Amino acid sequence: MDTVILGASEVAHLSSADPKTGRIDGADLLDRKKNIDEDVGIHIRNGIIKRMASNEEIQHEWGHIRPDTHQRIHITPDGNRWINTNGKAIVPGFVDAHTHLLWDGDRSHEMALKIEGKTYQELSKLGMGISTTVKATRDANLNRLIEIGEKRIQRARSMGTTTMEAKSGYGLDSDTELRMLLAAKSLEDVQDAPSLHHTWLGAHAYPLGVDRQEWNLHLVDEQLPAIIEQGIATSVDVFCEPGWFDLEVTEDIVRTAMKNGLRSRLHVDEFVDGGGLNLAAEMKVDSADHAGYSSDDARAKASEAGVNTGFLPGTPYVHGDPMSGAIEKCIKEGWKWSMATDFNPNCRSLSIPFVGSLAVHRMRIPPIAALAAVTVNAAATLETPLGTGQLIEGGVADLNILQTENADGWCLMPGDNPVELSIHHSTLIS
């Protein structure tokens, strides 16, 4: 099937990515001329961008499928498709590279306690926080988890997400962790599902009442082998934070997983500088996320080692914590970074445009830089097909047609959806 898209005002192709790293970093993040063109038509065949040229050229080549009407979308008798953008902008499909997609239960009651002054750590000691979600998730059968996941991925897709990482981590025991991964895998068959990448986060927290040393051994000797045998997870993650999994335990889990063919990601330095980003650099993980309290030395070391720092602005936002000023420093120094939603029971937003709004409106990051952070740079932390997070000839056709004429509008509608139409490979979402 051929799809022809004409009439866009701006196309944010983001094709200035470094061919070696697949990323855009440093000053290139701020260069709109390198990353955005006007008067570009797009020809898609079987989910791949075959040609990008001027609207006139594309129309000349494929004008036979364009109707003589003002129809927005026209499908010919032979199944080809013409889309008139009506002067709206096009951006790549969003890549959400850090989500806790599957869990059950409701922790809304905790917000009042936080306002009273209870910290995340204090709630955990009271048996709330993650423990509450773990109990509800353990009680959820496979069908229940799939049902929950279907609603969530459809919500994410409606807001332009075409690729998504999905972590386990709210089961903690082997049976539930395996069930969560199986449910997440099943979501790949849901109509309009984004491309999914699966991560085992068994080391998310310690179950109540366990001996920590014994549990550490359980994770490495029992749970991890079961995860590997299941064959769904492609990455491992650990909540590396003082009071949770320390540096030594984190390294043991991650190196064991990596020896068995898994990629690696980490939660680090969310509450304090616990040395997590330094460890991430030493192990050369794909992405070390949160990192709000990491030192500049650690950020430089991580970037030099090829490690991405994944900022999650939604989490400090819902906690009422200050926004990190690290992103501006990352741009200035050319350090590797990206952004994601961190969808979880506390931060219940699957909107990448909202993440962009926080970056632009609260952290004063230019919209084009924020866009690269949730597309091409996020994709670079995952194993994705050519062109994910970009619009290039030969790459996958994942793109969003916006409601605005300017590509910057992708993140300037907080509380509303800036995406009018979305294409994932050859599937049209409206």
pLDDT, position 80: 86
pLDDT, position 415: 92
Strand, helix or coil for residue 277: helix
Strand, helix or coil for residue 264: strand
Q: What residue ranges do the domains of the chain occupy? A: 2-93+390-429, 94-379
* 47 contact partners, CB below 8 Å, separation of at least 6: 396, 397, 425, 426
* 335 contact partners, CB below 8 Å, separation of at least 6: 25, 299, 300, 302, 303, 309, 329
Q: What is the CATH number of domain 94-379?
A: 3.20.20.140
Work out whether strand 398-402 and strand 90-92 pair parallel, antiparallel, or are unpaired.
antiparallel
Residues of the chain with pLDDT > 90: what percent? 84
**pLDDT one digit per residue (tens) for the chain, 430 residues:** 899 999 999 999 999 999 999 999 999 999 999 999 999 999 999 999 999 999 999 988 887 666 555 678 888 888 889 899 999 999 999 999 999 999 999 988 878 887 888 877 777 777 777 888 999 999 999 999 999 999 999 999 999 999 999 999 999 999 999 999 999 999 999 988 999 999 999 999 999 899 999 999 999 999 999 999 999 999 999 999 999 999 999 999 999 999 999 999 999 999 999 999 999 999 999 999 999 999 999 999 999 999 999 999 999 999 888 888 999 999 999 999 999 999 999 999 999 999 999 999 999 999 999 999 999 999 999 999 999 999 999 999 999 999 999 999 999 999 999 999 999 987 877 6
- CA dihedral sign of residues 51, 57, 60, 65: positive
82-109: string of b/e by CB count within 10 Å (b at 16+)? bbbbeebbbbbbbbbbbbbbbbbbebee
The side-by-side arrangement of strands in the sheet containing 308-311 is 94-96, 161-167, 195-203, 235-240, 263-268, 287-290, 308-311, 337-339
Sequence-ordered strand ranges (E) for 46-108? 48-53, 73-75, 81-84, 90-92, 94-96
Strand, helix or coil for residue 253: helix
Q: What is the radius of gyration, based on Cα positions, of the chain?
A: 22
pLDDT, position 260: 97
Give pLDDT tens digits for 127-162: 777 888 999 999 999 999 999 999 999 999 999 999
* 180 contact partners, CB below 8 Å, separation of at least 6: 102, 137, 145, 168, 169, 170, 171
Residues comprising the chain, all counted: 430
Give pLDDT tens digits for 75-101: 888 888 989 999 999 999 999 999 999
* Domain at 2-93+390-429: CATH architecture: Roll (2.30)
pLDDT, position 69: 58
Q: What is the pTM of this model?
A: 0.96
The side-by-side arrangement of strands in the sheet containing 398-402 is 36-38, 10-12, 90-92, 398-402, 419-424, 427-429
What residues form DSSP beta bridges with 424?
Answer: 398, 427
The number of helix segments (H) and strand segments (E) in the chain equals 17, 19
pLDDT, position 62: 82
Whether 410 contacts 356, CB under 8 Å: yes
